[in-house]
Amino acid sequence: MYLADDKRYEKLPYVRCGKSGLKLPLVSLGLWHNFGSNGVYDLMQQMCYTAFDAGITHFDLANNYGPGIGAAESNFGRILRDGLGIYRDELIISTKAGYRMWPGPYGEWGSRKYLAASLDQSLKRMGLDYVDLFYHHRPDPETPLEETMTALDQIVRSGKALYVGISNYNQEQTRQAAKLLKSLGTPLLINQRRYSLLDRKIETDGTKQLAAANGVGIIAFSPLAQGLLSDRYLAGVPEDSRIRTDGRFLKETALTPETLQRIRSLNDLARARGQTLAQMALAWIVRDGEVTSVLVGVSRPEQILDNTAIAQSPPFTAEEIEKIERIVS
């Protein structure tokens, strides 16, 4: 029987999410890859246990995470049933709806019909009565935002989610969603956006600044650029890397000579700081306190421990920040 480490709450900081009452661990675990129908169950279970033992209370899923849509939720449901679930009140479990799940006009996007049905399916797959956080996964160009936000508000009132978030919404869409949700009495908790040393769109489109100014949290997904911002690809493409084992979203063409040069220079700087490149890339995201949590993916338990060690990361000097700017711009 799994018993969690007694010292799990001494390892990571817990950061208040915007102006809400909820704190999230500085590092969260995402189940987008390596938890699908092609994964190894024992390894998935070990990764979740290692994460929780390391202080990670927040597990991020979506209805479509697989391969095999719904597979990651089903596997996570099994992990909960097999042991982790005894800690349900210590867990923040997130899921999302927005991408295509079933055929026909009600199987994707942002209608009330789709969101309500999808969340019911997610709860069934995970064997839960409620999720802690339910996201609209991507903006819907056709459904009125009022309908999508009202659906989120009603989901909270129904008790099926405690908090709501949005994902992949830009600055203006975030502003409008936050305003609508505020008027409905269910504040927007968080915006989940891609953010890394190789993708700084949330800085340039103003989403990061807007969230900070409006008391909305930001959680950064793909903070390691799917593994590029690590030592994985410094000496070629390993057979057990995401590029080789999955390749649906991260392709070898991403490893251009320019990107490789940047990764190598960043790696030299990380080494000079006495840490791994993955640690420096994560620490850089949370450097100014405006990002609530970095949402990492992993393929093995050791990567979790490497990533959570950012709790001990040295602060960046002005000179290091300048060097990083020169490398990535």
Ligand X SMILES: NC(=O)c1ccc[n+]([C@@H]2O[C@H](COP(=O)([O-])OP(=O)(O)OC[C@H]3O[C@@H](n4cnc5c(N)ncnc54)[C@H](OP(=O)(O)O)[C@@H]3O)[C@@H](O)[C@H]2O)c1
Site for ligand X, rule CB under 6 A: 30-33, 60, 167-168, 192, 221-227, 230, 232, 241-242, 278, 295-299, 303, 306-307
Nearest distance from C-beta of residue 255 to ligand X, angstroms: 12
CA distances from 225 to 57, 199, 255 (A): 22, 8, 11
Of 153 and 199, CB closest to ligand X: 199
Of 303 and 313, CB closest to ligand X: 303
User: Cα–Cα distance between 326 and 262 in angstroms, integer?
Assistant: 10
Beta strand 293-296 pairing with 27-30 = parallel
The residues, any chain, with a CB within 8 Å of residue 236's CB and separated by 6 or more, are none
User: Cα–Cα distance between 78 and 40 in angstroms, integer?
Assistant: 13
User: Cα–Cα distance between 239 and 98 in angstroms, integer?
Assistant: 32
Asked if 245 contacts 251 with a C-beta cutoff of 8 angstroms, the reply is no
Tell me the three state secondary structure of residue 255: coil
Of 157 and 251, CB closest to ligand X: 251
Nearest distance from C-beta of residue 225 to ligand X, angstroms: 6
Nearest distance from C-beta of residue 269 to ligand X, angstroms: 16
Nearest distance from C-beta of residue 35 to ligand X, angstroms: 8
Q: Residue 252 CB: number of other CB atoms within 10 A?
A: 11
CA distances from 131 to 12, 60, 257, 265, 295 (A): 23, 10, 43, 41, 17
Nearest distance from C-beta of residue 138 to ligand X, angstroms: 7
Nearest distance from C-beta of residue 185 to ligand X, angstroms: 25
Nearest distance from C-beta of residue 275 to ligand X, angstroms: 10
Asked if 99 contacts 91 with a C-beta cutoff of 8 angstroms, the reply is no
Nearest distance from C-beta of residue 318 to ligand X, angstroms: 26
- Largest Cα–Cα distance of the chain, in whole Å? 55
Of 18 and 227, CB closest to ligand X: 227
Of 148 and 299, CB closest to ligand X: 299
CA distances from 57 to 1, 24, 45, 101 (A): 19, 7, 15, 27
Of 198 and 210, CB closest to ligand X: 198
Of 20 and 168, CB closest to ligand X: 168
Beta strand 14-16 pairing with 23-25 = antiparallel
Asked if 53 contacts 83 with a C-beta cutoff of 8 angstroms, the reply is no
Of 188 and 295, CB closest to ligand X: 295
Nearest distance from C-beta of residue 55 to ligand X, angstroms: 16
Asked if 299 contacts 242 with a C-beta cutoff of 8 angstroms, the reply is yes
Of 123 and 263, CB closest to ligand X: 263
Helices H / strands E in the chain, number of each = 12, 10
